[in-house]
Amino acid sequence: MREPGQIKRSPRVDTRFPATLINADGDSVAVIVTDVSREGCRLETGDTLKIGEKVELRVPKLGTYPAQIRWALGNDAGAIFLEPVILP
């Protein structure tokens, strides 16, 4: 059962695969996707990501997904997908 104040979210799948993030300026940023759900993902990167920035997450062999950076702390960041993602 969910505690009061907790946000209900889709189950997350632990993973570790490389991807490319295209920021609002068109610059490419190498990232590692460390977990993913229908609504969003967690990323590792050596670059600084801007909270609120709209980006594209390009995943080899799977496609490009529009997203928005929701939080960033150190080398970790979280993004929400702007369209629901169907996981294979």
pLDDT on residue 38: 87
Percent of the chain with pLDDT over 70: 86
- Tell me: the pLDDT tens digits for 36-73? 998 999 999 999 899 999 999 999 988 999 999 999 99
pLDDT on residue 9: 61
Would you list the domain boundaries of the chain? 13-81
Token pair belonging to 67: 């997203």
Per CATH, domain 13-81 is 3.40.50.300: no
Which residue shows structure tokens 């960033």?
72
Q: Residue 45: what are its φ and ψ, rounded to 5°?
A: -155, 155
The pLDDT confidence band at residue 85, using thresholds 50, 70 and 90, is confident
The pLDDT confidence band at residue 31, using thresholds 50, 70 and 90, is very high
